[in-house]
């Protein structure tokens, strides 16, 4: 705890908070939200079955000037995932799905990559499969995906990010496959199964799965995406196949009803064993335990056990938290307002359960001990590229080629973050490994653990080579089977550009050399930013291909097309260098 937090001012604020009613405490959290000019949010808070707070802020539609109310329906995004898991568990109870058998039993067309995952491994993000949404984003940005494209992308995979059960990486594509398995096993559409078997029995009459943002459905708010100039555009996620990963729309009242059922000692929908499975954290083959269970994050927060999940898509963000021991339920759904619903939800927990909480969450790592790391970049066998920087007095971590973000939590001898904080299995860096090298600078190597898998990462040169020099053998034409894509690399002026063309669309990004073999990728479209890492493959001087890694799809293989002479011409032009 900082000196300021422990001082008289902090005690005075705490005393004031204790004197306020729950309504006043919650009003303070949402104070200042735009009530009539821009998008907003809806929030519901209940405790012991009594609704404490139920409000809408801002507009459901800027275009029509319609206000958000507690009755407005909004997209839950990834909060939908545990509802999908419950649907699969209901079919398992009936013997129609075996969640621990190879998924090919119900999806026989799935290719065997590094082993066939189970449906449960799709649910816990431990399948190793690359996410079709990520693949689409890499290859075609925000281009519209027709019905069936998601399944086609998953079936086109020739490699996986890792063998099933050995690591953890967020994968929406696994939930699309789970949705398909539910539809096949039940004999009805995924949407109908959820409505009839999950939502209707609980009286959630305003909740349903709507897989496409292009569908016109009564009562749903418009989703808004902020533009750099302060205006807004429609927040439309370019997917028709957004089913089990993030397709559910709901209201505050339905979600409070849902959470009360989730933590209830006896359940109307689903057996007690199914709900026990829903909240049992995943255990990987290496023995490491992740707080991620079946579509839910289950962990301790300031001494109390919480069950929570967030979600985000174009123009929407959401957060659900329930604290079973105190029967506290929180739901926040936004339609584009620039606030953080995750942070707001924890503020509500802090306010309403203050006398039951201990300490605080692990603080973000301060820069003081880590200034020698600033600017250092590390590359490892997983294809990941990590870098360090300073962000407002905190240690910032760069994932791939992104700007550094202050997401690293200081847990004493270990720094890191959980699955829900970055979409990767728990990441850990040990303090001893981060010590300065003999020259006082960043160490030459780091051991970084992803989901319990320790890998040695090598520091890249402090002064990287010029891209025009390091990348001179890279221009040419390539194919990536897993993206179903053709690609071309070429110098456009002084800029080295990778252009990818898929059946759905195209994508372009600038490459920057960090060493002779490792490059960063930054998308050229400012409305769809993306950061990747590229590792070259060579035979002698000739570049035969490269591997592209993103946060949720590792080591995609781009192979130079046979007969491509571009590199030979490039080498001829630069042979006098």
CATH number at 544 reads 2.40.128.50
Does 423 fall in a domain?
yes
CA distance 90 to 197: 8
pTM of the model: 0.92
Does 284 fall in a domain?
yes
Q: Are residues 329 and 231 both part of a single domain?
A: yes
Q: Are residues 257 and 120 both part of a single domain?
A: yes
Does 406 fall in a domain?
yes
Q: Are residues 453 and 475 both part of a single domain?
A: no
Out of 430, 459, 488, a domain closes at 459
Does 392 fall in a domain?
yes
CA distance 184 to 312: 28
CATH of the domain at 435: 2.40.128
pLDDT along the chain (577 residues), means of 10: 38 60 92 84 96 95 94 96 98 98 97 96 96 92 87 92 95 95 97 97 97 89 90 87 93 98 95 97 94 95 96 95 98 95 96 93 90 96 94 93 89 84 84 91 94 94 95 96 96 96 94 96 91 94 94 95 70 43
CA-wise closest residue to 236 among 160, 143, 340: 143
Q: Are residues 376 and 296 both part of a single domain?
A: no
Q: Number of folded domains in the chain? A: 4
Q: Please give the helix or strand (H or E) that residue 318 lies within, else none.
A: strand 316-323
Find how far residue 348's CA is from the centre of its chain.
23
Q: Are residues 226 and 332 both part of a single domain?
A: yes
CA distance 512 to 401: 9
> Which structural domain range is residue 429 located in?
367-459
The SS3 assignment for 162 reads coil
Q: Are residues 221 and 347 both part of a single domain?
A: yes
Q: Are residues 184 and 265 both part of a single domain?
A: yes
Whether 552 contacts 421, CB under 8 Å: no
Phi/psi-derived region of residue 563, left when phi > 0, alpha when psi is between -120 and 50, beta in every other case: left
Res 14: pLDDT:
52
CATH of the domain at 227: 3.40.710.10
Out of 330, 356, 382, a domain closes at 356
CA distance 121 to 104: 13
Q: Are residues 498 and 437 both part of a single domain?
A: no
Does 49 fall in a domain?
no
CA distance 423 to 170: 5
Q: Are residues 529 and 455 both part of a single domain?
A: no
Give, in order, the Cα–Cα distances in Å from 94 to each of 97, 229, 244: 8, 54, 20
Residue 149 main-chain phi, psi, to 5 deg: -65, -35
Q: Are residues 449 and 507 both part of a single domain?
A: no
Q: Are residues 88 and 237 both part of a single domain?
A: yes
Out of 418, 439, 459, a domain closes at 459
Does 68 fall in a domain?
no
Contacts 24+ apart (CB under 8 A), 93-101: 93/270, 93/271, 93/274, 96/185, 96/186, 97/181, 97/182, 97/185, 99/123
Give, in order, the Cα–Cα distances in Å from 272 to each of 222, 257, 263, 269, 326: 37, 18, 11, 9, 20
Res 528: pLDDT:
86
Q: Are residues 484 and 435 both part of a single domain?
A: no
Q: List helix spans (H) across 105-162.
A: 119-123, 132-140, 149-155
Does 66 fall in a domain?
no
Res 570: pLDDT:
53
Q: For CA atoms 398, 403, 408, 414, give the dihedral sign.
A: positive
Does 490 fall in a domain?
yes
Res 5: pLDDT:
39
Res 17: pLDDT:
58
75 CB contacts (<8 Å, ≥6 apart)? Answer: 210, 213, 220, 223, 246, 247, 248, 249, 311, 313, 316, 318, 333
């Amino acid at each position: 705890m900082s000196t300021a937090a422990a001082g008289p001012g902090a005690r005075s604020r705490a005393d004031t908070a204790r004197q306020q009613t729950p309504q006043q405490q919650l009003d303070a959290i949402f104070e200042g939200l735009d009530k009539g000019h821009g998008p907003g949010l809806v929030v519901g808070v209940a405790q012991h079955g009594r609704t404490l707070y139920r409000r809408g802020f801002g507009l459901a539609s800027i275009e029509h000037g319609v206000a958000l109310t507690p009755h407005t329906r909004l997209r839950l995004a990834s909060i939908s995932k545990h509802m999908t898991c419950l649907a699969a568990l209901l079919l398992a109870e009936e013997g129609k799905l075996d969640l621990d058998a190879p998924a090919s039993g119900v999806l026989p067309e799935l290719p065997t990559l590094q082993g066939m995952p189970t449906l449960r491994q799709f649910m816990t993000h431990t399948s190793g499969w690359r996410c079709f949404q990520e693949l689409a984003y890499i290859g075609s940005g925000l281009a519209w995906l027709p019905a069936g494209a998601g399944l086609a992308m998953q079936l086109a995979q020739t490699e996986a990010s890792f063998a099933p059960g050995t690591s953890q990486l967020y994968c929406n594509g696994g939930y699309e496959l789970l949705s398909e398995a539910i539809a096949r096993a039940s004999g009805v559409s995924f949407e109908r199964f959820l409505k009839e078997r999950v939502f209707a029995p609980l009286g959630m009459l305003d909740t349903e799965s709507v897989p496409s943002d292009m569908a016109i459905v009564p009562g749903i708010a418009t989703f808004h995406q902020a533009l750099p100039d302060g205006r807004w555009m429609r927040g439309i996620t370019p997917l028709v196949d957004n089913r089990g990963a993030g397709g559910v729309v709901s209201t505050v009242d339905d979600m409070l009803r849902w959470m009360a059922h989730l933590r209830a000692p006896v359940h109307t929908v689903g057996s007690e064993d199914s709900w026990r499975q829903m909240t049992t954290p995943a255990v990987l083959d290496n023995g490491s335990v992740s707080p991620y269970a079946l579509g839910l994050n289950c962990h301790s927060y300031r001494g109390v056990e919480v069950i929570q999940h967030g979600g985000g898509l174009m123009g929407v963000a959401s957060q659900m938290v329930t604290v079973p021991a105190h029967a506290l339920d929180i739901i926040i759904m936004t339609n584009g307002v620039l606030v953080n619903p995750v942070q707001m939800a924890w503020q509500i927990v802090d306010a309403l359960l203050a006398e039951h909480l201990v300490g605080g969450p692990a603080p973000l790592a301060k820069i003081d001990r880590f200034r020698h790391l600033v600017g250092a970049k590390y590359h490892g066998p997983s294809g990941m590229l990590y870098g360090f920087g300073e962000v407002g007095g905190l240690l910032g971590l760069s994932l791939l080629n992104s700007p550094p973000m202050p997401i690293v939590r200081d847990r004493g001898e270990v720094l890191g973050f959980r699955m829900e904080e970055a979409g990767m299995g728990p990441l850990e860096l040990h303090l001893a490994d981060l010590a300065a090298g003999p020259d006082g600078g960043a160490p030459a190597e780091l051991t970084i653990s992803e989901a319990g898998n320790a890998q040695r990462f090598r520091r890249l040169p402090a002064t990287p080579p010029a891209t025009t020099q390091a990348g001179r053998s890279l221009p040419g034409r390539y194919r990536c089977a897993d993206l179903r894509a053709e690609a071309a690399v070429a110098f456009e002026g002084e800029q080295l550009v990778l252009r990818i063309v898929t059946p759905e669309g195209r994508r372009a990004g600038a490459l920057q050399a960090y060493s002779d073999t490792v490059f960063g990728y930054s998308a050229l479209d400012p409305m769809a930013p993306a950061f990747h890492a590229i590792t070259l493959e060579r035979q002698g001087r000739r570049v035969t291909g490269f591997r592209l890694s993103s946060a949720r799809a590792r080591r995609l293989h781009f192979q130079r097309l046979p007969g491509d002479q571009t590199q030979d011409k490039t080498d001829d032009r630069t042979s006098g260098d």
